[in-house]
Structure 1
């Protein structure tokens, strides 16, 4: 029964990799389309702030997708990888994407403090994971 479950799991993971690859390809095409559309629209070759934020957001979304694809492959295809470190890396990238495209107003102190605390907690957690791994290697 266990070999059958492992085989099913492997097929499911490979199908997830294929689906994620298709999604990433389509997201990259969307990014290219938005970039070309924004560049050729008047005024040509000049991007406004909202257009830049949209492009940065799409770009970071593709980067996060690549990280997720790498996470799926490393974590589930190669069993000897530390899952926590990979998940923390993806979380840090996702929060950084949010910070890059965040449009804050004058009354968003709570949001800013929350995001700052989240970034700090994730970075400290990542540092501690790396520190423990180095100590274990020594």
Structure 2
């Protein structure tokens, strides 16, 4: 009993520490994003005919943006776990999809083999398919519950 309480407290402190680290990381990434954005606006020689942001600078912005989204989703997953002691698979799949989206933007597809591209496509299909199946199941559960509640009234 005492050991169980100790483990629960320890787990709670670890999640708090990880959340604080992620919040600091988000703050640093937001600063980096703002810095890169204003740097690109103030240096028009790199714009290659574009008004504000060149394609190469856009490739620098978007991974930072996706890093922020991933960190926010991780904090949300931690909070759900701390409150309900359940891990939402939907959040994990969403984090995976965001991470893959980030990688797709940063990838140079010319350097990859066809097999690597197929593997990446299979991973995207698997994550999106899992997300779709869970979402439709949640929708059906909610619809069934609404019908049941209406019959009781």
Question: Do Structure 1 and Structure 2 share a fold, with TM-score over 0.5?
Answer: yes
SS at 1:71 equivalent: helix
TM-score normalised by length of structure 2: 0.78
Aligned residue pair count? 137
> Cα 1:14–1:106, aligned 2, differ >3 Å: closer, same or farther?
closer
Deviation, structure 1 residue 109:
2.6
Whether 2:124 is the aligned partner of 1:119: answer yes
Aligned match for 2:88, one of 83, 91, 113: 83
1:64 aligns with 2:66: no
Matches of residues 1-138 of structure 1 in structure 2 within 5 Å? 1-43=3-45, 46-74=52-80, 76-79=81-84, 81-105=86-110, 108-137=113-142, 138=144
Contact 2:74 2:95 in 1 (8 A): yes
Distance 1:31 1:67 in 2: 18
Partner of 2:110: helix, strand, or coil? coil
Deviation, 1:9, is 1.1
* Bigger CA radius of gyration: 2
| TM-score when normalising by structure 1 | 0.85
Change (3 A) 1:73 1:107: closer
Cα pair 2:63 2:106 within 8 Å, conserved: yes
CA RMSD of aligned residues (A): 2.1
| Higher deviation after alignment, 78-87 or 88-97 | 78-87
Higher RCO (CA-CA < 8 Å; seq separation 6+): 1
- Give the deviation of 1:107 after TM superposition: 5.9
